[in-house]
Amino acid sequence: MGSAIYNWLDERLGLTEAMALAREKRVPVHGHSFWYYWGGITLFLFIAQALTGVLLLVYFRPGADAYESVRQITYQMHFGWLIRSAHSWCANLMIFAIFVHMFSVFFMKAYRRPREFGWFTGLALLALTMLFGFSGYLLPMDELSYFATKVGLQIPAGVTLIGPAIEDMIRGGAEVGEFTVQRFFALHVVVLPALFLPLLGLHLWLVQKHGNAVPPAEEAKPAAARLSIPFFPNFFAKDLAMWLIALNVLALLASLFPWGLGRPGDPLVPAPPGIHPEWYFMSSFEMLKVLGRWFPGAAGEALGMIIFNAGLVLWFLIPFYDGSNDSGRRGRIAHYFGLLVLFVLVVTTAAGYQSLK
Amino acid sequence: MNYPFWDVPLIGSGWVIGCIAIFHVMISHFAVGGGFYLPLAERKALKEGRAEWLQTLRGHARFFLVLTGVFGAISGVGIWFAIGLTHPEATSTLIHNFVFGWAIEWVFFIVELTTAAVYYYTWGRIPDALHLKVGWVYAGASFCTLVIINGILTFMLTPGEPWLQVAGTGAEASRFWQAFFNPTYWPSLFLRTVVCTSLAGVWALVTTSRIDGVKQPALKIELVRWSVKWLVPSFVLMPLLLGWYLWMVPVSQRALLSLGMSTIGSGAFTQVTRAALVIVMSSATILAIVYFLAYRNPLDFTFSHAVAVVGVALMATASAEYSREMLRKPYVVGRHMFSNGMRVKSVAAANRNGYLAHTMWTRTNVSPQYARGEAIFRGECMSCHTVDGYRSMRLLLNGRNRASIANLLTMLHDYKPDSPYRRFMPPLAGTDEEVRLLGDYLDHLENGAGAQ
């Protein structure tokens, strides 16, 4: 009976081919294998975001009612607070996981030929995830999210020439208000997912097609000395165990440190002290501030923007500079560039938090 | 206030007990469960002539001896040290009631520690049958320590009607056995016993995961699977036993479990619900990991997996013990003594004569106008609250002004049947003047009114 059903489905869906495809892929085993889990962890957290997000969607009301509906979710719906806390914590964990994934890919040189598009799509997914975070942060419309969004909008506003126009368009008016919530909501639940999902599909397909990259040290070994295990079911089982750990961390954070809800956001009330963007925007926020201090005036602002964007472009285009396994000196320079970026990110983030005090 | 107060900043003195106790529970339950694991495994190995099993078991016995004999014993004494400092009033009640129980307990401790050492050091030096007997003596003694301490622990949640009738009369010890075999004694004993067996399995995985799967694949498969089976009783029986336990807990305490379902509002007591969620989550994770990773793929089961399982088990244990403690609110000894050490029967007297009537000293580093308020805060609030850390008073007052603080304190002082705080907080005992003094101090804490 079971096999009859399987055969029926197999003939129509090609299950055997899919299984063969999954079995064919092998995952290398070496000292840095740990970093292979982070893409999977990110994927898991994204799935958790989609599920909890849909549950929140059931009760959330964008527009003027936004705060009240989040208040109901947090204080009245059974376990509404849990779903909301899980969604907020998961967003932070997901961005953290992407950063770990990105830097591990960078230092393992997994962006080199033929994996350039894995790198590009990955960066695009990171940018979309940060937009998810930014748009989602405003939706409760409490004091914190209101003022943090106001502050955060300074980043797009800083873009030369078109910045203010972009800011106005995102905000839906001269001030952050119910129209902003409406726009952010549309962005958060329709526009961004519509962009994110196909990109994610492409990204995953590329991983399946090219397999895991091995770090250069491992590549130098003779083929016989390299160990690997099949992706399915061996690595998949380990992946699932990691997902389980991620789920536990998420559950622990969401239940023990539930996300609170502040007072309603009110433009007439002075901003509470210590308002700042979320930690993943802290670095760009601080960098723009510092560059603004170094190069005062309009020309300086433009120069600051150019430096800032040049860094982003270089980061994006790294596969073209360090594109093959035998690029020797370029490989080393790319490595130092990566360390520099990591250092700048950490230092500016820390400086950002320091300057709040 | 008859005793000085031990002020531990940020985490509060309660968490000092908590941290030591959670660590102790992880080990002491292993000491009981592992006490059965070792002789049962040894018996099986001897009967079926599995020499390589004995080799691994000997290593496990050493791990067991060090963990239980050193860390278990020290942390056990640490609990004593911490509860005496943190909760002198409650500790005194327990000693007056159970001093004989503890005397029995110490006999079993000595037998337990001795036989554990004898069991390890005589491995291969005395006849197998005798060695196995030592193992069984250990198992018996160690189980008895659970049998005894369980009576005292469950007493604190449900002292039972017979004991409550004589509480405070000086004749409490006459109801020793009723207090010992109190309403939650049996469900708790069974519950803890299955936890012991599963922790025996969890800790055994630490040893068995280290068997080299390439050199001795058969041994690793057998022993890992055999260890996993020790988790079966708890996963089958746990829901039933937990139901039984909760059924024996007074309705008012059980209600604390559902407080956190609908809200996380500031000041609402939702910790029990949240910790209970973590118990369910972490138990399910252990089940999934030991089945899919350990049982299905014993050869791929590594030492780090085993350590991860111990970590998740620690999460489950910590949240379970935490929930059990919280379930007692607002009492430290059910219906007899409030969680701040105030006896239920003494509240009326304190309201009449003053809470500070027997307090000899106030602090000199607090300005005189707040010193008495601060002393009340220390005595009546700080058993559960800290100024800036755990259950932070500053955070919970949430910007209230003096009038609003006064309203809150009046509500706590009047302790009317419909007061929402009654479900988890003790009444505020003291005269109207003292309530005002405490209010002044809290206002000073929150709004910095007046000069220090």
Q: Which of A29, A74, A142, A255 to mutate to test the interface with B (most CBs of B within 10 A)?
A: A255
pLDDT value at residue A185: 95
**Contact B263/A74, CB-based, under 8 Å?**
yes
**What one-letter code names the amino acid at A16?**
T
8 A C-beta contact, residue B422 and residue B338: no
The predicted pLDDT at position B4 comes to 83
B265 touches A: beta carbon within 8 Å: yes
pLDDT digits (tens, 9 = 90+) for B45-78: 999 999 999 999 999 999 999 999 999 999 999 9
With CB atoms and an 8 Å threshold, state whether B263 touches A237: no
Mean pLDDT of B78-86: 93
Surface-to-core class of residue A233, CB atoms within 10 Å of its CB (0-12 exposed, 13-18 middle, 19+ buried): middle
Strands (E), A195-277: 227-230
Distance from CA of B245 to the nearest CA of A (A): 23
Q: What pLDDT band is residue B393 in, cutting at 50, 70 and 90?
A: very high
CA distance B262 to chain A (A): 4
- Whether B432 has its CB under 8 Å from any CB of chain A: the answer is no
Q: 3-state DSSP helix/strand/coil percent for chain B, to nearest 5?
A: 75, 0, 25
Asked if B264 and A78 come within 8 Å (Cβ–Cβ), the reply is no
Pick from B262, B278, B289: CB nearest A255: B278
Give me A263's structure tokens.
């007072």
CA A88 to mean position of chain CA atoms: 13
Question: What is the average per-residue pLDDT within B19-37?
Answer: 95
In this predicted model, what pLDDT tens digit does every residue of A40-84 receive, in sequence order?
A: 999 999 999 999 999 999 999 998 899 999 999 999 899 999 999
Taking contacts as CB-CB distances below 8 angstroms, the residues of chain A near B274 are: 255-256, 258
- In terms of phi and psi (left: phi > 0; alpha: psi -120 to 50; beta: otherwise), the region of B137 is alpha
* Residues B380, B154: Cα–Cα separation, whole Å: 24
How far is the C-alpha of A215 from the C-alpha of A219, rounded, in Å? 6
B370 phi/psi in degrees, rounded to 5: -105, -5
Interface membership of A80 toward B (CB under 8 Å): yes
Tokens representing A239? 């992946």
So what's the pLDDT on residue B1?
59
Residue B283: CB atoms within 10 Å: 21
Q: Tell me the C-alpha distance between B367 and A26, whole Å.
A: 71
DSSP B343: B
Q: Check whether B377 has a pLDDT greater than 50.
A: yes
Instruction: Report the pLDDT value the prediction gives residue B451, as an integer from 0 to 100.
Output: 39
Residue B305 contacts residue B209 (beta carbons within 8 Å): yes
Taking an 8 Å cut-off on Cβ atoms, the answer to whether B281 and A247 are in contact is yes
Minimal CA separation from A255 to chain B, in Å: 5
Query: Which of chain B's residues have a Cβ under 8 Å away from the Cβ of A241?
Result: 289, 292-293, 305
Note whether A269 contacts B: Cβ–Cβ < 8 A.
Answer: no
Q: Where are the domains of chain B?
A: 12-333, 344-447
Shortest Cα distance, chain A CAs vs residue B216, angstroms:
20
Q: Which residues contact A119 (CB under 8 A, 6 or more apart)?
A: A105, A110, A111, A318, A319
Q: Give the pLDDT mean for B315-334.
A: 93
Cβ neighbors of B47 (< 8 A, separation 6 or more) are: none
Compute the count of residue pairs across chains A and B with CB atoms less than 8 Å apart: 61
A256/B278 Cβ within 8 A:
yes
Instruction: Measure Cα distances from A270 to A154, B114, B180, B350 in Å.
Output: 18, 69, 60, 45
Going by their DSSP bridges, the two strands B331-333 and B337-338 should be labelled as: antiparallel
pLDDT of residue B420: 86
The per-residue pLDDT string of chain A (357 residues; one tens digit each, 9 = 90 and over) reads 889 999 999 888 888 888 887 778 888 888 888 899 999 999 999 999 999 999 999 999 998 899 999 999 999 899 999 999 999 999 999 999 999 999 999 999 999 989 999 999 999 999 999 999 999 999 999 988 999 888 888 777 766 678 788 888 888 888 888 899 999 999 999 999 999 999 999 999 999 888 888 888 888 888 888 888 888 888 888 888 889 889 999 999 999 899 988 889 888 888 887 788 889 988 888 887 888 788 877 777 777 778 888 888 999 999 999 888 776 889 899 999 999 999 999 999 999 898 887
Mutate to test the interface with B, among A71, A229, A244 (most CBs of B within 10 A): A244
Question: In whole angstroms, what is the distance from residue A247 CA to residue A245 CA?
Answer: 5
The answer on pLDDT for B374 being more than 70 is: yes
Q: Return the structure tokens found at B113.
A: 């520690």
Q: Report the distance separating Cα A233 and Cα A318, nearest Å.
A: 34
Instruction: List phi, psi (to 5°) of A27.
Output: -105, 125
Query: What is the structure's pLDDT at B382?
Result: 93
> B452 pLDDT band (50/70/90 cuts)?
very low
Query: The tokens 């126009």 sit on which residue?
Result: A165
Q: Helices B271-289 and B251-258, interaxial angle, to 10°?
A: 70
Q: Is residue A107 a contact partner of residue A335, using CB atoms and an 8 Å limit? A: yes
CB contact under 8 A, A75 and B289: no
Which among B264, B265, B315 has the least Cβ separation from residue A252? B315
Residues 6 or more apart in contact with residue B345 via CB below 8 angstroms: B167, B168
For A73, how many CA atoms within 13 A lie in the half-sphere containing its CB? 29
> Could you count the other beta carbons within 10 Å of the beta carbon of residue B84?
15
Copy the structure tokens of residue B230.
Answer: 């020790």
Element (H, E) at A136: helix A116-138
Taking a C-beta distance cutoff of 8 angstroms, is the pair B371, B356 a contact?
A: no
Q: For residue A258, give the nearest of B264, B305, B312 by CB distance.
A: B264
Helix (H) or strand (E) holding B331: strand B331-333
Look at residues B281, B371, B383, B403 and name the one whose alpha carbon lies nearest to residue B325: B383
Q: Determine the distance in angstroms separating the CA of B221 from the nearest CA of chain A, rounded to an integer.
A: 17
- B360 vs A103, which has greater pLDDT? A103
In chain A, residues with a C-beta closer than 8 Å to the C-beta of B293 are 237, 241
pLDDT of residue A327: 67
Question: What type of residue sits at position B173?
Answer: A
Query: How many CB atoms lie under 10 A from the CB of residue A51?
Result: 14
Amino acid at B191: L
Class of domain B344-447: mainly alpha
CB contact under 8 A, B312 and A79: no
Q: What span, in angstroms and rounded, lies between the C-alpha atoms of A283 and A292? A: 14
Nearest Cα neighbor of B202 from B294, B122, B278, B273 is: B294
Is residue B266 less than 8 Å (CB to CB) from chain A? yes
Residues of A whose CB is below 8 A from B297 = 234, 237
Residues contacting residue A198 through CB under 8 Å, at least 6 positions apart: none
ipTM, two decimals, is 0.81
Closest listed residue to residue B132, CA positions, set B228, B222, B33, B44: B44
Tell me the percentage of chain B whose pLDDT exceeds 70. 98
Which of B257, B264, B282, B395 best probes binding to A when mutated, by most A CB atoms within 10 angstroms?
B264
Burial A103-113 (b: 16+ CB within 10 A, else e): bbbbbbbbbbe
Q: Is A227 on the interface with B (CB under 8 A)?
A: no
Tokens of A13: 């869906």
pLDDT of residue B146: 97
Q: Give the rounded distance of the alpha carbon of B137 from its chain centre.
A: 27
Whether the predicted pLDDT of B450 surpasses 70: no
Q: Taking CB atoms and an 8 Å limit, are B308 and A245 in contact across chains?
A: yes
The reply to whether residue A252 touches residue B278, judged by beta carbons under 8 angstroms, is yes
